[in-house]
Amino acid sequence: NAGVTQTPKFRILKIGQSMTLQCTQDMNHNYMYWYRQDPGMGLKLIYYSVGAGITDKGEVPNGYNVSRSTTEDFPLRLELAAPSQTSVYFCASNEERGNTEAFFGQGTRLTVV
């Protein structure tokens, strides 16, 4: 029972490089989320999805893109990495908006130098 799986766990990028953070869940959850957590700060929502083919912006979407072609996968794309994107990124999923529990991946620690 894998739950929510994020890859990679760690990554160092140079300014201007691109990368995709992968997130997969095996619980058949409709709702998926991407958060970033800066040191000593709370979680800020980047993008979310309520089902395959549907995505929407959260609080801090600039510099990121997402897609949701399947129920299981919700990749987060950084096109032109900037030092301000140095953070820990968490993916989460939820069966539905209502009375269900949210599950989190273990995070991807990204450093942009």
73-112 positions binding another protein, by CB under 8 A: 90, 92, 94, 97-107
- The answer to whether the beta carbons of residues 55 and 46 sit under 8 Å apart is no
Does 12 interact with another protein (rule: CB under 8 A)? Answer: no
**CB closer to another protein out of 85 and 93:** 93
Does 31 interact with another protein (rule: CB under 8 A)? Answer: yes
CB atoms within 10 A of CB 111: 13
Tell which one of 45, 72, 75, 77 touches another protein (CB under 8 A). Answer: 45
Does 11 interact with another protein (rule: CB under 8 A)? Answer: no
Kindly provide the residue ranges of all beta strands, DSSP E only, lying in the chain, ordered along the sequence: 4-7, 10-13, 19-25, 31-37, 43-51, 54-57, 64-66, 76-78, 87-94, 103-104, 108-112
Does 58 interact with another protein (rule: CB under 8 A)? Answer: yes
The binding site for another protein (CB under 8 A) comprises: 31, 33, 35, 41-43, 45, 48, 50, 56, 58, 90, 92, 94, 97-107
